Structure 1
């Protein structure tokens, strides 16, 4: 489903951002919830979501 692809893209991108800058962003994913503490690169997140919707890997 589209929602699953978008959700996966969001989590994957935020995990990537947190790994790249652990002092700037921490995330925790549990079941249907995601908790983010810090700065999020919205352009990177938007690109990941658009890629998921467009069918990019």
Structure 2
């Protein structure tokens, strides 16, 4: 897996996690591999930590 795939997967996974946690009315809809529809507020600190963690080999 290349770095772009890692970042993409980390972003989608974290947005879905935030959505499922009910944070800020966030709704996430995935479509094609290159697209995602996001509606609501996103916690950027948590998103950043998830992406950095995925690049560092974290969960």
TM-score (normalised: structure 2): 0.89
**How many angstroms apart in 2 are the aligned matches of 1:47 and 1:53?**
10
User: Which residues of structure 2 form unaligned runs of 5+?
Assistant: none
Q: How much does 1:12 deviate?
A: 0.3
Q: Runs of 4 or more off by more than 2 Å in structure 1?
A: none
Unaligned runs of 5+ in 1: none
Q: State TM-score, norm by structure 1.
A: 0.92
Q: Tell me how many residue pairs correspond in the alignment.
A: 57
Structure with the higher strand share, 1 or 2: 1
